[in-house]
Structure 1
Amino acid sequence: MPQIWAETAPPARGSGREALHPAQAAMQNPHSPPRAASLKGAGPKTPQNNGIRHMAPLSQLRNIADTGETLHRSGCAPYKIEKYLQFYARKQGINVIVQATPTSISCQFPDEDNQFIIRRLEPAQINLSLLARTIIRINAVEDPGTEEPGRYPAWLIMLANIAIPPAFLTLIGSALTTIALSAVLGFLVWLCQLFCRGDRVILVEFLSALVAGLAVSLVSSMGVEVPVWGTCIAAIVLFVPGLSIANSLECLAFNDVISGSSLFAQSIFVLMKLFIGIYIGVSIGAALWGATPQVKNVNEVLWWMPYLALPALSFSIGVIFNARLVDIVRALPVTVLGMWGPLYLGFGSGWIVGTWVTAMCITLYGTWLAKTLNLTGAIYIVQGILILVPGSRVLMSATQSLFNETLMADASIGLSALLMFSAIVAGQVTALALYSQKNRNLAS
């Protein structure tokens, strides 16, 4: 019976915890020699290529697990993590069996005395620069490292937070007063992000929505005519979990039901925090400053403003997600598709058909570009899907159903969110089927 040793997390890391599988614990021999000796060749040896094969050092196995944790931390889909780790280990002559979920990574090394490494992880954050760098080093069979690349300056992140709400309102059409107010709300949301760090990060969505609700209620009580709920949604649209929803739909499309369901549940939880935060903020504001009047949204956007708002929104999203500048520029076409594709690519058949065609075009473009650059399509698809995915439309639909207030010119768009989810799944599956496995990157 092979010796199976417990693996512990490196002391310098705090984002993951490694544990021994229960089956391994039952097989553990308490009188075994130290693990390090076994890994250096004192343990069992197996014949390979007519010679003696020494077991891989522990640091090499840990490096594979660290690479998987880095991919997870940067927002890579679970099934892609499995493919990348197997590719990375195979290049080093190591056989590994990987199971990745949204909250854990398990690595089993059958040829290394059947050792197991299991890590429990926090929910992933989006860091597209870290994701790109890690994949580039994996393809080059270099040590991907675990340190994060430098982020954009704090002042630029602040400007990105300020720019996203007015750019969003400009693209869907709103009053100029509402657009100006949303920039102030973006600054307040940035302050909430500064406050909610470390252990308080789980509070950031709810607190931002609460502050936005209070601020809009205060402004509305002063006689400024703004659509309360619509303005609040624009302020927190950054937190709509577009990548999590896109990853969950992609996992479900490839029959990874566990990861897909878990990511989708996390996304719904975030949407719940956003909605209830706005509701509580507006309710407290009504109690403090009086009931806010319902104002119908009026489109005062000039014809040239959307052509400035779309690049601003694309650049701001890239800064928030720490994407490389070159990747922001490359992803601009999918941003255009995500915004106007459902409107113009439906060919008279409606938003649902337009969404299906748009999702297919976005996935084809991202997959082709990823193959060309030896990266993963998620880096380029995310911006288009974030705008296309109807997460914010779910909030708008709930707003219309409960409070009879809509932000978009076409009120039925928010009510068709479920069909739009399905159309995005169908579009991604169609695109990946058209782009054959032979022509795709190993995990694009």
Structure 2
Amino acid sequence: MKEGKGKPNRFYGILGLGIFVVLAVFFLFSFGVQNPSDVSTSGSVASPATPAQPAQTFPNERIPATPAIPAMPATKSSGTCQRPVPYHQIYSSLELNLDDINIAYQSDPESFLKATKNEQVYKLMQSSSGVLFALVTKYEYVDSYQTSVPYVYKSSDKGRTWTSVRLPTTAREQTFYTYVSGIAEDSKGNLYAGGRAALWKSTDGGNSWNQIPIPTYDEYYRDLNPYAIRYLMILKDDSLVINVEFVGTAPFNTYKSIDGGNTWTKLFAIPVYSMVEADDGSLVVSDYFGDVYKFSNNVLTKSLSTFWTGTEHPLLKAKDGTIYSVTSENVHYTQSFKYLWGYPIVSYKSKDNGNTWIRMGEVPDALQGGRLLEGADGSIYLGTLSECWGGTIYKLNPNSKKWEVVSGSIPYLSNLGGPLYWVHTMMEIDGKILNAGNLGVIFNSP
């Protein structure tokens, strides 16, 4: 029994010794052991001596000043988008000082967005006299409602300075989102602009504008008011052609006027996205459903169908008569996973006035059809939304026949789920490819 009682005593003795050793090690490493050379005679820790700084001499030369604007990287790379792409440069500002807005664009994109998001540019056009016009909507308060109001901006110095004219509309119209769909000039210098529930005309070079009547829908015992001018163009014979969307379930009618909008003749009834006049005098028309039609001798015939809906579908007739089209294309569901939105954006061309079409290939990373432009040198450009670069400008390589990126949005404005720049319109001026969209500035590709 005595031996049995002694075992717990030895156990607790060993346990106590172990605890003592652990605590000793803990305190040793927690507080450390100071090196005697680091301890002063007074017992306090001495700071190491700071070596004397040699006297500095400077050469008698000018030191470069720090740039006021931080240098913006020339390219970006994100996710699967590894190709280097230059950013758009600011060409002109509608409302703000160009130097100030350039500083914000390069150093504080969030402030830049706040300063420019009140305006949207829907169309750029240069008149026969060289005047630059921009169709713009601005957010303003009208009868206690914040609404989008249509303006025409005008510049006689290629965008250095601007003057603006507010287009006449009623208060009721202004309480809705007002967008403008086109501006065109006839051979007499008359200007026409179309927007929501209104068609405007200027006979004094854009200094003043008046509304002109739009046909009402009076078919099948219904009399409906127009909702919007979806498309507007001037033909070679100076005829004015408009596509009108009506209130309710009526179709989109296309009308033609040979007397400056005083009287109208109905042509056909489809929702027009884009329209060009072919060399044979026919109209080649694209809709919002992936189809292209040819209107000739009062007959509308479908000439191309890509079997997809709800995308932008631009057309362009080049100087050599070739007609280009860009649209989304239906693919088998087993292939749709390859594309962010489930379908590719594909370009076509027609060499026979829109009768037949040749598939040219996909526009890499593009998400919509966008806008087409022919440069002065015959180059074909596409401005659209891309997965990688937001609002993006492409150029068709004349040798490889492939689309190559010319410039894209800065990273802050390339977020599909956040701030995003969209290209609404393009034009060329003095060899520069300009683009504008949902911000109050005009960009150019470097």
Name the TM tier (shorter chain).
under 0.3
Which structure has the highest strand share of the two?
2
Which structure has the highest helix share of the two?
1
Q: TM-score, normalised by structure 2?
A: 0.24
Q: Is the radius of gyration larger for structure 1 or structure 2? A: 2
> Larger RCO: Structure 1 or Structure 2 (Cα < 8 Å, ≥ 6 residues apart)?
1
